[in-house]
Structure 1
Amino acid sequence: MTIDSPALPGPLRWAVWLLRGEAVALGLVAAFLIYKDLTASASTDIVSALFVTGFAIGGAAALWALATGLGRRRAGARAPAIVLQLMLFPVGYYMIEGGLAWLGVPLIVLGALLCGLLVCAPTNRALGVG
């Protein structure tokens, strides 16, 4: 006989889904980078290209793992997830400065939204913190 735990509260469920969405989006970027690495010209700095691709793959895996941990109510997954979301602020800012406001503003909003979802009271209760 198994005892089901109560369903995740809304804010935590949304945070898990948004983190998984970020992981999928970054995974698609990684797939594109792999394609570009495989079709690059001989003059391309392949070491740098592979480093960037590896970073994207690692980021996608980390976001997915954190979403899974939060979905399983692991309080230890919350702080790294918040740190990754806070990293969206400078990225979004420099995108805005570089003329990509259409992408930078949503990234900042997404980071702020997820941080809010991860620190709100229902999430705290579900994770057993605070």
Structure 2
Amino acid sequence: MTIDSDPIPVTLRWAVRLLRAEAVALGVVAAWLIWSDLTAATTHLTSALLVTGFAVAGAAALWALGGALARRRAGGRAPAIVLQLMLLPIGWYMIQGGMAWLGLPLMALGLAVTGLLVSPPTTRALGFE
């Protein structure tokens, strides 16, 4: 058994924390969607299940990527960056729809986590240098 003496850099630690926080937040949304699907008077079942499934899968993916990055798995960085960059169009359409109070922070979160994931300390910790 080997013990990695290099501490996880603060940038990677915060990226993992934020990914896990996003996973929890999306899990809460997924739970609300499940409750909504079960209690709705009328619904288009296929659409409801697809949206709910997408939320559950997104939460699971964010949590798994956070875990992979916490274990310094370099393969987790690219998918995590893609998911963070997906927050940009989501935030943009929220702003266009009159929900700038939510869209702007989502865009900022996506850019912040992406910045943490491509920062030099994180890059070194994941073995890209």
Give the TM-score normalised by structure 1.
Answer: 0.96
Unaligned runs of 5+ in 2: none
Gaps of 5+ in 1: none
Partner amino acid, structure 1, of 2:36: K
Hey, what's the Cα distance between the residues in 2 that align with 1:70 and 1:2? 19
What's the counterpart of residue 62 of structure 1?
61
C-alpha distance in structure 2 between counterparts of 1:51 and 1:23, whole Å: 18
The CA distance in 1 between the partners of 2:19 and 2:60, in whole Å, is 11
Structure 2 match to 1:49: 48
CA-to-aligned-CA distance 1:1-43 (integer Å, 9 cap, x gap): 65244221000000000000000000000000000000011x3
- Residue deviations 1:62-110 (CA, integer Å, cap 9, x gap): 0000000000000000000000000000000000000000000000000
Q: Which amino acid aligns with 1:39?
A: T
Structure 2 partner of 1:12: 12
Listed as ranges, the matches of 1:1-130 within 5 Å are: 2-41=2-41, 43-130=42-129
Structure 2 Cα separation of the partners of residues 18 and 7 of structure 1: 18
The number of aligned residues is 129
Residue identity matched to 1:100: M
Q: Structure 1 residue 124: deviation in Å?
A: 0.5
User: Aligned partners of 2:45 and 2:36: how far apart in 1?
Assistant: 10
Over aligned residues, Cα RMSD in angstroms? 1.0
Equivalent residue letter for 2:116: L
Aligned residue type for 1:48: S
What percent identity do the matched residue pairs reach?
Answer: 68
